[in-house]
Structure 1
Amino acid sequence: MEYKTIDCSERSMEEMQMLCGIDDENIKLLSEAFNGNIIVRSHAIKVEEPIFEAISTIIEKSFQMIETRDQLLKQDLHYLIQLEKKKILRSFSAKALSPIAKTRSGKLIYPKTIGQAKLCEAFKEKEIVFATGVAGTGKTYLAVAYAITQLKNESVKKIVLTRPAVEAGESLGFLPGDMKEKVDPYLRPLYDALHEMLGQETTEKLIEKEVIEIAPLAFMRGRTLNEAIVILDEAQNTTKAQMKMFLTRMGKKTKMIVTGDVTQIDLIKDKDSGLIQACQILQGIPEISIVHLGNEDVVRNPLVQKIIERYANVE
């Protein structure tokens, strides 16, 4: 079998180590994905000729990611492999994946896919953003990260996080405890994101001061929300009436972000979902962006993507 060589002499040893991964796990992943041999010798990478073009493109884009983020995660490599197999990798630019926030420890938060980058751009440019996509595409996490950044920059005075408290009904009466105890379990993903961005103590202080408000969707009725970022999570489980009610709460200098997964509707009838209706009837309004994230935007364990695809085939 003929081999061709990729010259990486301009790369540092640290960059080469990031590219190859621990025990060359990244090289093994590439070899398995394209069913060909890849041999690394210091700063030279020898690749079997049939897969040379694909591998050289992935390695070029991998180094772009290393330059941009100073790291290359295994899930990043999985994503690049997907793009190459779809013949769209050459148009990908890691520089488009600029950071949108920092965690409390100072770690930069980046969009990790083209779809996520498009979503983050929509956050900056539009007044209302609908983000739909399967589990693991980072919809809620990126929305909260963006909102925290805007709060720190004093671009808004308040963050409001809301979701249907109990899927398909918000029937809280039968649950034990006071209202906070009834609602909190359904809002846990929002708390988790806040704790990562701000820490638990700071989050609790801001909630106590009502700078951050976390409440079930039913509590939005009758209000006008000004100078705020308002995030509606799990929006696939809002009814059409609830969605209209929510969107009309918008006041001055307010941005709304609506996230949901239309493959996980818990309403009795899927067609009653306010998210599906809103995405249909609000298309074309310049101030509104509707971003659909696909399986290729899943950023959890790569196995999650395979599970989602299998279930999609069955359903």
Structure 2
Amino acid sequence: MVEKIITLENVSLVEFLGPDNQNIRQLAAAFPGSKIISRGNEIKIQGQTAVISRINEILSALLEHYHQYGQITDKTVSQYLSSADEDQQDRLLAASPDVILFGAKGGIIKAKTANQQRLVDAVLRNDLVFALGPAGTGKTYISVALAVRALKNKEVKKIIISRPVVEAGESLGFLPGDMKEKVDPYLRPIYDALEDMLPAEKFKLYLENKTIEIAPLAYMRGRTLNNAFVLLDEAQNTTPSQLKMFLTRMGPSAKVMVNGDRSQIDLPTKQKSGLIQALDILKDVNGIGFVEMTADDVVRHRLVKQIVQAYDKFDVQMQKDQANRPPREYQPYRRPNGPGMAAADPGRHPDARREDDGMQDLPVNHEQL
């Protein structure tokens, strides 16, 4: 165990240490494996070398803050402790390239499958990436983590995340609440991911100052998205014109991701998916990355993988059945009075009942009321 002594000069001990040394006790509580003892104008630190270095950095920052503002509160200590944690995470990220991000509670966020790692690598190499695959493969979660990392590394100035709002059985106009309350349920998975990755106060601040913007796809029209990490989720539910509109918003310093699942298209039956069309149109364009996820990348409950595989098997069988189904015989349209059709009585109304249709005339009541 190493020991270090810091001498406080030109400092009011009561204002710096806090009532009953509460500021130092709060600092000591954040490093339970070490000892921080305050005696007079000296602070003695005992612990491992790396821990002592971090405590020394925080105390130096607090001293600088005191000389600038004249006081230290417990809230000030909390802010500098939080800042120190982020600095430590940044150093760990630099030393561990496979780690994407540290979550709000300190958990490590990184690729868990080979295809998830391919997605991370594709985003590093390309400014536009399409991530495709079934539910549960981590497309949204990994994409949001990459966006937060880019923001923390100051590679972008803001994060913009969007989803198409596709009505499922109910019209938005009949749902309760204002427009934000109507569309927020569609964007809930995005909020959940961000809340896992950012402290609550910082996430709230980012939303208020528009550093992070979460909005329906329709809100992207007419904008130029620059110096931003832009994510379009659930892209299989875009129309061709919507997806073209989104892709053409891309500014010169933007990083764009488009996520989708071909098997979960919620558009009307006759409406073509913009994602399916875009994959065909853009497949040979240089500088665009395409990453295909499979059921093997599912990281949810083990049953999700089996469900996805069962549906894939069912879809393959349906395609085979349709391919083997004999074509319907062609039957030309025949006009009334045309060849092969009985001649119509020109004096008879087309809706009139035939006399030999087995129906009898109903009796008529001639009584006067």
Regarding TM over 0.5, the answer is: yes
Number of residue equivalences: 220
CA shift for structure 1 position 286: 2.1
In structure 2, stretches of 5+ residues that fail to align are: 1-95, 316-369
Matched position secondary structure for 1:173: helix
Q: Is 2:133–2:292's contact at 8 Å kept on the other side of the alignment?
A: yes
Matched position secondary structure for 2:160: strand
In structure 2, the residue matched to 1:109 is: 109
In structure 2, the residue matched to 1:124 is: 124
Q: 1:251 to 1:222 in 2, by over 3 A?
A: same
In structure 2, the residue matched to 1:312 is: 312
- Describe the superposition over 1:37-70 as per-residue Cα deviations: whole angstroms up to 9, x where unpaired: xxxxxxxxxxxxxxxxxxxxxxxxxxxxxxxxxx
CA shift for structure 1 position 242: 0.3
CA shift for structure 1 position 313: 1.8
In structure 1, the residue matched to 2:250 is: 250
TM-score (norm 1): 0.67
In structure 1, the residue matched to 2:265 is: 265
Q: 1:170 to 1:213 in 2, by over 3 A?
A: farther
CA shift for structure 1 position 295: 0.8
Q: Is 1:97–1:114's contact at 8 Å kept on the other side of the alignment?
A: no
The higher relative CO (CA closer than 8 Å, separation ≥ 6) is in: 1
Q: Is 1:97–1:110's contact at 8 Å kept on the other side of the alignment?
A: no
Report the structure, 1 or 2, having the larger helix content. Answer: 1
Q: Is 2:127–2:256's contact at 8 Å kept on the other side of the alignment?
A: yes
CA shift for structure 1 position 176: 1.7
Q: Tell me, in whole angstroms, the C-alpha distance in 1 between the residues paired with 2:251 and 2:145.
A: 22
Q: Is 2:134–2:293's contact at 8 Å kept on the other side of the alignment?
A: yes
Q: Is 1:168–1:237's contact at 8 Å kept on the other side of the alignment?
A: no
CA shift for structure 1 position 106: 2.3
Q: Tell me, in whole angstroms, the C-alpha distance in 2 between the residues paired with 1:168 and 1:125.
A: 37
TM-score (norm 2): 0.57
Q: Tell me, in whole angstroms, the C-alpha distance in 1 between the residues paired with 2:169 and 2:285.
A: 30
In structure 2, the residue matched to 1:274 is: 274
Q: Is 2:239–2:272's contact at 8 Å kept on the other side of the alignment?
A: yes
CA shift for structure 1 position 210: 0.2
Q: Is 1:167–1:237's contact at 8 Å kept on the other side of the alignment?
A: no
Matched position secondary structure for 2:174: coil
CA shift for structure 1 position 269: 3.0
Q: Is 1:164–1:170's contact at 8 Å kept on the other side of the alignment?
A: no
Q: Which amino acid aligns with 1:109?
A: I
Percent of aligned positions that are identical: 55
Q: Which amino acid aligns with 1:110?
A: K
CA shift for structure 1 position 169: 11
CA shift for structure 1 position 270: 7.0
Q: Tell me, in whole angstroms, the C-alpha distance in 1 between the residues paired with 2:176 and 2:162.
A: 21
Q: 1:106 to 1:263 in 2, by over 3 A?
A: same
Q: Is 1:241–1:274's contact at 8 Å kept on the other side of the alignment?
A: yes
In structure 1, the residue matched to 2:225 is: 225
CA shift for structure 1 position 177: 1.0
